[in-house]
Structure 1
Amino acid sequence: MVDLATLATLCVAGFASLFMAWAIGAGSSGSTPFAPAVGANAISVMRAGFIVGVLGLLGAVLQGANVTEAVGNDLVVGVSITASAAIVGLLTAAILVAIGVFAGYPIATAFTVTGAVVGVGLALGGDPAWAKYREIAALWVATPFIGGGAAYVTARLLRSESIPERPLTSALAGVVGALVANIGFSALGPEGQQGSIAGVLARGLPLPPVAGVDASLVLVTLALATLGAAALHYDTGRDAEAGQRHFLLVLGGLVAFSAGGSQVGLAIGPLVPLLDGELSVPLMAVLVGGGLGLLAGSWTGAPRMIKALAQDYSSLGPRRSIAALIPSFAIAQTAVAFGIPVSFNEIIVSAIIGSGYAAGGAGVSTRKMVFTVLAWIGSLALALGVGYGAFVVVDSVL
């Protein structure tokens, strides 16, 4: 039986989590997925905010468990996050993200939440989770190079006059189709696990393994990749520009879905220890609540940041926008699969810059880049320090 004081504290923690979800929806997950599409004039700012909110909600429900559990249980060892610690951590991160939203700078949400949760966890007496930190740092450091590099190469290929554009874009659609076929969904796996579309379909093809490789899974993946390539090849054959826009919007939708699956964990992850201890609430119900918070943020606050990303960093056409979104989708799904909190601002901004440089700079703002990187680093350090200090003060008072 939960006493009244504890229940009140848990309610405040829940509201802090919803505020964090709103801030993420307005900033990271709500603005970044469709920013390249808006920059390429494939969709309006307001329509992009609406669509990304709906897709983010679906991603939160179907893919949000991995990152949620990692943020709640894996960032500090030896202690469990208490309700008061969750409140301090979430409010610290949410305020920093909200400041970035209203100032027009994309604060890296994963940096602020990770720093704040680690700060309050250490203040509780926990020990650093060095193994998890190495995983997180490796992805954070590699993202600009892998995402930006892949976007640069893809944009150069799409701009090359020696390579026919229609077969190339069709091949890229095939790569995206293969990725979609193998990403995990909670609805397709057994309880507590995720399954893929290719994995489900492969069960009906009991082919023997070849050199230790699941031949059925490979065959289904190739079939779905071919289907995606053929669909875009047909679409671009009817109208090349319309086909490009359709492909760009599909990519934006996939990134928005992935953003929901990743970013919801940053908002509700600190509540996970409370669900296992003081409350008895299914994780799925909390994922839905967090997804609704993301949706609200996307609908009310995202347009400002969408405009900032679409117009301030680089003026991208459809080809370079496609080049930016493909590696963004791949990196996002990698982070979701391994349960690593990742900043969608870092992913998208890196890809936008890489594809922009493929055209000799293409209006990339160096000054904006420098300020953004400094904001990312500063938000991590500031969130860790403020989270630690604020919880020490709160704990001494309570």
Structure 2
Amino acid sequence: MVAGGTLATFLVAGAASLFMAWAIGAGSSGSTPFAPAVGANAISVMRAGFIVGLLGLAGAVLQGANVTEAVGRELILNVTLSPTAAVVALITAAVLVAIGVFAGYPIATAFTVTGAVVGVGLALGGDPAWAKYQEIVALWVAVPFAGGGIAYGTARTLRDERVPESIAVPLLAGVVGAILANVRFVVLGPPGEAASLTGVAATALPDFSSLLVYVGATLAAATLVAVVLWWDLRGNPEAGQRHFLLALGGLVAFSAGGSQVGLALGPLLPLLDPFEIPLVAVLLGGGLGLLLGSWTGAPRMIKALSQDYSALGPRRSIAALIPSFAIAQTAVFFGIPVSFNEIIVSAIIGSGFAAGGSGVSGAKMGYTVLAWIGSLVLAFTLGYGVFTAVDVLLA
């Protein structure tokens, strides 16, 4: 017996969590990372779905703790989600995401999960976590402007004939290397904690100023990545661009796993406390759910994102993926649930407008924004209403 319900109800909550992981893998984390690369003909749809599943699994295990904790414990105060509440929240969000997958519209997964969890939490008698909501809303609102704006500026720079690609692309790779040097991984930190390459360097060199070590390690990583890509571009510029594009897609796929697994596992987390199951084991289970979703359902959404929103070439794809990686890692660092559909679609649109809006579907953009807003409101309403009804029936 677990608090708040029977073992059977708890098992249903676990099944609902796996279903949610599948839906996320098929939709958000499984489709968005490689969509720009597929749009640029750098990789096939089926191969992208296969690779993104493996990288998403790795990201879930190595970076999934922060967002999982936030979704499970920080969206509602003074109450712990019961098995029934977790089931209602997860099924509500998963059904909405699955509808988006089969309809070909990328529903914002973070919107649906957050709305559903807050809805059932308030119905359960919890208090709003206003401080956390401010962080979440601030990031959600900033994503289209930051991601789209950076993608637009990057794409414009790459299209400028006065800026040699042999210089611009390696410099952009250097920016990615600098970010990567400061990304935290579980394998680099002590037990139960994560650490970055710069953090490891600072620990290994205690006699030097921490700031100096951080800056030096960041610059070293940026320089190394930039030089490697510059060398690759010398032999075959087109192949070098493709390699960079695929590497970016891989980094975004990894980041998606680290962020999105928390949306599937977060509501389940309070129910696991009595069993003392290691978090890494829970993350592995969620990552396998993402993997299965990516392999079975992602190709449809990859096609939708890579072809329906904007006709992407290698330059605009690179411009879209760089801010996507940066925003994703920011969300993982602060433990904020964020929609990868919102991140990638905003970046794709921004890079598309750099070419005068060529290939950008205005109708598709409008329907997508309405779907995002509608999914948040609908998930909250259904979560609150369905749980209230179920609670009355079980009383």
TM-score by length of 2: 0.98
Distance 2:46 2:363 in 1: 27
CA distance in 1, matches of 2:86, 2:136: 21
CA contact (8 A) 2:2 2:10 kept: no
1:140 aligns with 2:133: no
Match of 1:327 in 2: 323
Q: Distance in 2 between matches of 1:191 and 1:383?
A: 36
Residue number in structure 1 paired with 2:276:
280
- Cα distance in 2 between the residues matched to 1:310 and 1:270: 31
Aligned twin of 1:364: 360
Residues 142-157 of structure 1: pairs in structure 2 closer than 5 A = 142-157=142-157
Is there any run of 5+ residues in structure 1 with no aligned partner, and where?
Answer: none
2:230 paired with 1:233: yes
* Aligned partner letter, 1:305: M
Indicate whether 1:270 and 2:301 are aligned.
Answer: no
Deviations 1:14-67 (A, max 9, x none): 000000000000000000000000000000000000000000000000000000
Give yes or no for contact 2:2–2:271 (8 Å, CA) kept in 1: no
Q: Which amino acid aligns with 1:367?
A: A
In structure 2, what residue type is equivalent to 1:368? K
Give the distance between the partners of 2:138 and 2:362, measured in 1 at CA: 24
Question: Structure 1 CA distance, aligned partners of 2:207 and 2:36?
Answer: 41
**1:326-345 equivalence runs, <5 A:** 326-345=322-341
What is the CA–CA distance in structure 1 between the aligned matches of 2:207 and 2:314, rounded to whole Å?
41
What is the one-letter code of the residue matched to 2:325? F
For the Cα contact (< 8 Å) 1:207–1:215, is it kept in 2? Answer: no
Amino acid at match of 1:91: I
CA contact (8 A) 2:37 2:245 kept: yes
Q: Does 1:81 align with 2:81?
A: yes
Query: 1:247 maps to what in 2?
Result: 244
1:2 positional shift: 5.1
1:81-129 deviation per Cα after TM superposition (whole angstroms, max 9, x unaligned): 1111000000000000000000000000000000000000000001111
User: Which deviates more from structure 2 when the two are superposed, residues 177-186 or residues 297-306?
Assistant: 177-186
In the alignment, the residues of structure 1 paired with residue 232 and residue 154 of structure 2 have an alpha-carbon distance, to the nearest angstrom, of 20
1:317 pairs with 2:318: no
Equivalent position of 1:181 in the other structure: 181
Q: SS state of the match for residue 112, structure 2?
A: helix
Give the superposition deviation at 1:224: 1.1
Per-residue deviation, 1:207: 4.7
Confirm or deny: 8 A CA contact 1:106 1:372 kept in the other structure. Answer: yes
Could you say which residue in structure 2 is the equivalent of 1:348?
Answer: 344
- Cα shift readout 1:120-172 (whole Å, capped 9, x = no counterpart): 00000011111000000000000000000000000000000011111110011
TM-score, with structure 1 as normaliser: 0.97
Structure 2 gap ranges (5+): none
SS at match of 1:301: helix
How many equivalent residue pairs?
A: 394
Equivalences for residues 14-33 of structure 1 within 5 A? 14-33=14-33
